[in-house]
Structure 1
Amino acid sequence: MTMSTFSIRGTFRGAIAALAFSTTMGLATAQAADAITAYTSYEEDEIAAFLARAKEDMPDLTVNVLRLSSGDLHARILAEASNPQHDVIWGWAVTSLIDPRIGELTEAYSPANIDRIAPQFRDPNGKWFATTGYMAAFCVNDEVLKAKNLTMPTSWADLVKPEYKGEVVMPNPASSGTGYLMIASILQMMGEEKGWQYLKDLDANIAQYIKSGSRPCNAASEGEFAIGASFALRAIKNIAEGYPITMVIPSEGAGNELEANALMAGSKNKDAAKRFLDWTISDNAVNEYYNWKEIVTATGGTMPERFKSAGLPEDISSVMWKMDFAWSAENRARVLEQWQKELER
């Protein structure tokens, strides 16, 4: 008999929630299960689905999970640097993971079947590998376009056209990871001088900067504005729910963030931790990722039809901007300070 427990505590609106998920053998004759602790920034529903799949393959492994937002998790890992309380990092932003201070706490490990992950999605030194991620996309309301006789935008360059004045909403990069990856990708694509000028030109057409990464898509879906700069999965979900929108992936390339995994050097349960990391690129894991993520880096698995019908290409790397994650991490504070000074309202 297998017994599972799943509990949630904390504040969701404060972006801090701790989850504990454990799977243990209920029979007295069963051997004691292996146990690990994973720190993650995956969403609560994603964690539950992924670990339900993991239980199918590893019923004897106990996985205790602490879930925090990327920034809060970064602070916690650094605070615990002298005495890490976890065995693995799981599904955490690469922009955070490449901090050299974090790198000192991790250990190189090449999971079984690591070749399923293309080199561009893993650390050259083997310190981390990314399995999932998310990317920028526009949610464009077809009915608003028709009513106002507007053309369908296809690029970031299109969004500065005078016809879209007051019709564009996008996330505030100071509060939204999606918003920051958009700003960072624009500055990387265009170079800083042209990039900042573009952002000022774009600002003339922006109706609102919204704190959430998903809300711009929802606002466009509901017809409040013509265009919501958001992320692809939100667009795919809203299309599936029947909203009259088209998902547009900017032709220059979509800014993106990868969610990566790593082994902690200080883990006291390395065999179990490595077993879990091996599982994260297994067939069962990859198939479940496709239910939740627009970016799945591992080969194999099947992209859901609703993703393809919404306009997501099966080869997602063909539309992803090749982000310089080190630049994004190193310049985050400076970029946000300049954006808040010159553009926030």
Structure 2
Amino acid sequence: MKKFTKVLSGVAFAALAATGALADTELTVYTAVEAEDLARYAEKFNEVHPDITINWVRDSTGVITAKLLAERDNPQADVIWGLAATSLLLLKSEGMLEAYAPAGVDQLDKKFVDSDNPPAWVGMDAWVASVCFNTVEGEKLGLTAPTSWKDLTDAQYEGHVIMPNPASSGTGFLDVSSWLQIFGEEGGWEYMDALHNNIARYTHSGSAPCKLAAAGEIPIGVSFAFRGAKSKAAGAPIEIIVPSEGVGWDMEATAIVAGTDSLEAAQKLVDFTVTKDANVMYNTGYAVVAYPGVAQPVEHFPEGLLDAMIDNDFEFAANNRARILAEWSSRYDGKSDPK
């Protein structure tokens, strides 16, 4: 199978250099994992398998999902490591994933594993929606901190809210699909119509709204708790708010792309992704991981976040993805950042 130009391949080569090993096999791995985490993922994997080089292709969830769908007749990736479970459910329905039960999968929490036997995908961790509120900028503008999703439609926030575009961002999509579940189909679109009036712009990254709020460029960023916790740990004057109606969430998950020319190496990588060591890595940024007993508290995660996670209907989100995105784009895309 034809391969993309290597992206971030130096990460893997640096890890190999440290071991003094030369790679025998290369894997093209598509990912939406935060870029700063990729180096340690590759380094840890190469401690076990120094003969396999990971060539990362990293982008936001929506872009990676669209790329995979566009390449369905000529796959370019070997493995997907860290993409929204809702996207993998869609790819599974298209017959694009190679079913595989990685060694040790029976140790994972069952809600993190595809129900088929063998599973088409396995989960890694969960990321959860939240609102990042810059207390300094909010005070300058005379804004009160919101406590609910509906609060964000208040006129005081006009032009002061940024959120991710759901067509390009997995975080944006979990927000939209969760609002349609929380408020109902009609109520969800009515809510988003009202929210749109206060939106300054829609970003193509799920972490960007919180980063921008942390930097003081906007007082309110709809993002996810992991990003907020990292920004707050770095000293940003932000409050991480858990809206009272409940919050959407999704899993990062892993799968083998059907048709890979490097199936054995791909299986070794997926075996590694479910290990306790891998889950310990995930827990450095995520409070919820697939391996029971591993998760430790993450600094600055807001209280009540896990209890606020809605009973997310992943099948609804996956099966209605195209319809939801088409409707969203027709209504709101005019405020999106240029691609």
TM-score (norm 1): 0.78
Higher helix share: 2
What SS class does the counterpart of residue 299 from structure 2 fall into?
A: helix
Structure 2 match to 1:13: none
Aligned with residue 294 of structure 2, among 298, 301, 308: 301
Deviation at 1:190, TM superposition (A): 1.4
Q: Contact (CA 8 Å) 2:171, 2:224: kept in 1 or not?
A: yes
Higher strand share: 1
Aligned with residue 104 of structure 1, among 79, 95, 106: 95
Structure 2 match to 1:65: 55
**Matching of residues 256-295 of structure 1 within 5 Å:** 256-264=249-257, 266-267=259-260, 269-293=262-286, 295=288
Question: Taking structure 1 as reference, are residues 218 and 62 closer, same or farther at Cα in structure 2, changes over 3 Å only?
Answer: closer
Deviation at 1:51, TM superposition (A): 1.6
- Distance (Å, rounded) in 2 between the aligned partners of 1:174 and 1:268: 30
* 1:141 pairs with 2:134: yes
Q: Contact (CA 8 Å) 2:86, 2:317: kept in 1 or not?
A: yes
Deviation at 1:67, TM superposition (A): 1.3
Deviation at 1:201, TM superposition (A): 1.7
- Distance (Å, rounded) in 1 between the aligned partners of 2:50 and 2:167: 42
- Distance (Å, rounded) in 1 between the aligned partners of 2:53 and 2:41: 11
**Matching of residues 82-93 of structure 1 within 5 Å:** 84=75, 87-93=78-84
What SS class does the counterpart of residue 140 from structure 1 fall into?
A: strand
For these two proteins, the number of residue pairs brought into alignment is 323
* 1:172 pairs with 2:165: yes
What SS class does the counterpart of residue 300 from structure 1 fall into?
A: coil
- Distance (Å, rounded) in 1 between the aligned partners of 2:140 and 2:63: 44
What SS class does the counterpart of residue 115 from structure 2 fall into?
A: coil
Unaligned runs of 5+ in 1: 1-7, 11-16
- Distance (Å, rounded) in 2 between the aligned partners of 1:78 and 1:91: 16
Aligned with residue 320 of structure 1, among 286, 309, 313: 309
Aligned with residue 50 of structure 1, among 41, 58, 75: 41
- Distance (Å, rounded) in 2 between the aligned partners of 1:265 and 1:136: 31
Q: Contact (CA 8 Å) 1:117, 1:131: kept in 2 or not?
A: no
* 1:128 pairs with 2:117: no
* 1:332 pairs with 2:321: yes
- Distance (Å, rounded) in 2 between the aligned partners of 1:86 and 1:217: 30
Deviation at 1:212, TM superposition (A): 3.5
Deviation at 1:33, TM superposition (A): 7.4
Structure 2 match to 1:228: 221
Amino acid at match of 2:267: K
Amino acid at match of 1:297: A
* Structure 1 stretch displaced more, 282-291 or 39-48: 39-48
Unaligned runs of 5+ in 2: none
Deviation at 1:234, TM superposition (A): 2.0
Question: Taking structure 1 as reference, are residues 286 and 138 closer, same or farther at Cα in structure 2, changes over 3 Å only?
Answer: same
Deviation at 1:128, TM superposition (A): 0.8
Structure 2 match to 1:247: 240
What SS class does the counterpart of residue 98 from structure 1 fall into?
A: helix
- Distance (Å, rounded) in 1 between the aligned partners of 2:91 and 2:100: 17
Deviation at 1:260, TM superposition (A): 1.2
Question: Taking structure 1 as reference, are residues 278 and 103 closer, same or farther at Cα in structure 2, changes over 3 Å only?
Answer: farther
- Distance (Å, rounded) in 2 between the aligned partners of 1:63 and 1:102: 29
Amino acid at match of 2:129: A
Amino acid at match of 1:215: A
What SS class does the counterpart of residue 92 from structure 1 fall into?
A: strand
- Distance (Å, rounded) in 1 between the aligned partners of 2:139 and 2:107: 44
Q: Determine which structure has more spread, i.e. the larger CA radius of gyration.
A: 1
Q: Contact (CA 8 Å) 1:286, 1:300: kept in 2 or not?
A: no
Deviations 1:283-314 (A, max 9, x none): 2211111224454332233435xx3334266x
Aligned with residue 95 of structure 1, among 73, 86, 89: 86
Q: Contact (CA 8 Å) 1:160, 1:205: kept in 2 or not?
A: yes
* Structure 1 stretch displaced more, 105-114 or 240-249: 105-114
* 1:213 pairs with 2:232: no
Structure 2 match to 1:188: 181
Structure 2 match to 1:114: 105
Aligned with residue 341 of structure 1, among 321, 324, 330: 330
Q: Contact (CA 8 Å) 2:27, 2:265: kept in 1 or not?
A: no
- Distance (Å, rounded) in 1 between the aligned partners of 2:115 and 2:148: 32
Question: Taking structure 1 as reference, are residues 309 and 62 closer, same or farther at Cα in structure 2, changes over 3 Å only?
Answer: same
Amino acid at match of 2:313: D
CA RMSD across the alignment: 3.3
Deviations 1:189-224 (A, max 9, x none): 211101111111222333333343333223322444
- Distance (Å, rounded) in 2 between the aligned partners of 1:330 and 1:59: 37
Q: Contact (CA 8 Å) 1:34, 1:272: kept in 2 or not?
A: no
Percentage of identical aligned residues = 37
Greater than 6 Å deviation, 4+ residue runs: none
